[in-house]
Amino acid sequence: MANLSWPSAEEQARVREIASAMTGKNENDVKVVVSPYRICPLGAHIDHQGGTVLAMTINRGILLGFIPSNDSQSHLRSGQFDGEVKFSVDEAQQPKTTRMINLENGNNVHEEANWGDYAKGAVFALQKSGKQVTKGITGFICGSEGLDSSGLSSSAAVGIAYLLALEYANTLTLTPVENIELDRIIENEYLGLRNGILDQSAILLSNYGCLTSMNCKTKDYTLVPHPGINKNEKHENGEAFKILLAFSGLKHALTSTNGYNDRVAECQEAARVLLQATGSGDLEPLLCNVDRETYEAHKGKLKPSLAKRAEHFFSENARVTEGLKAWASGDLREFGTLMSASAQSSIQNYECGSEPLKDLCEALWQAPGVYGARFSGAGFRGCCVGLVEAGQAATAARLVELEYRRRQPELAAGLRPGSSVVLLCNPGQSAHLI
């Protein structure tokens, strides 16, 4: 594994010190889960329809320092939120789908009383899958300082961190693919969010210098290296590109708005209409079960909104195919062009993207050295992600920040103290235990 700059020795020492103080045990007894945030350069909004997505992690994310309990009790503290969470893993956990919560345990607005629900969700997922969980954990969890993690799948990173810690505490050995399914249970069945498996897959499968390509229908995946990144490099050096994250300051939970779940339902309805048109109504209503020829032949049967959702699905799948070719050949310019086209389709066909997010994308598209950019996440809040030529990254970051502060001064001023509009970072590794 490459010697990446995150987490730093200081960051690891901090979570070990706090977890050690919580238990009264030696810092050397503290294990640390490293669970990175992810970006999705291509494959927007199609994972829940069984499409193919492209993703990678970044060198920022969630750290969970913990010590296994001697009994069933769990005791947790957060670096971002007040209070403590205490519960027993012996308790049968019930889904939270009857109430909408705003929970992303990075740097986000949420219902503070519920910040520990992802830990309980991890127990729920393990219980539902038939795993024996008898030992709790005592630990401290925190997100990377200096950034707003909206749009980077901090929720999936948190869920995976708790899964890995509980599995270690209970001597459970699970594969990354098994943990992808467990985190899906946390988000879909425990919290009621109708997302796909993109986020979990990226966090658990990524490898430094590679793009993770996952077919969300078959669960098959490949790691595609970029020729400009040396996977044997000892340290990050930005030799090919930098990842530019631009934060809107706009916060709104996916589960507390109908926007996200409504789009998923519309995609499913479009699939249902198209499948029934060919006598295949017995198939699951997902757009991945509709071939392109069927779509072209029968798209006239779709009402306008459903036609747009279907067009986004099929055009985005095509962009993913072309994007893989561009990435593997080292053509970042073509790859970036496809990223920007993905953003345009998200706006026009998927009809997501708040004005602040659109402003951020436009600022990125205009900045020097930016190959391409799109929304990171659902597009209703959070951030945008761009790939930028390493030599022009600092200049691009400065200009994007200035332009966004001009367009959205109140939102930019409302970012967490110590956070900036723009962060430059590098590819990361998959989630792992230290």
Which one of 148, 199, 262, 359 is the catalytic residue? 199
Q: How many CB atoms lie within 10 A of CB 407?
A: 16
Distances (CA, A) of 36 to 104, 122, 123: 14, 17, 21
Active site residue 183: no
Return the closest-CA partner of residue 40 out of 272, 267, 374, 311: 374
Which residues carry out catalysis?
A: 199
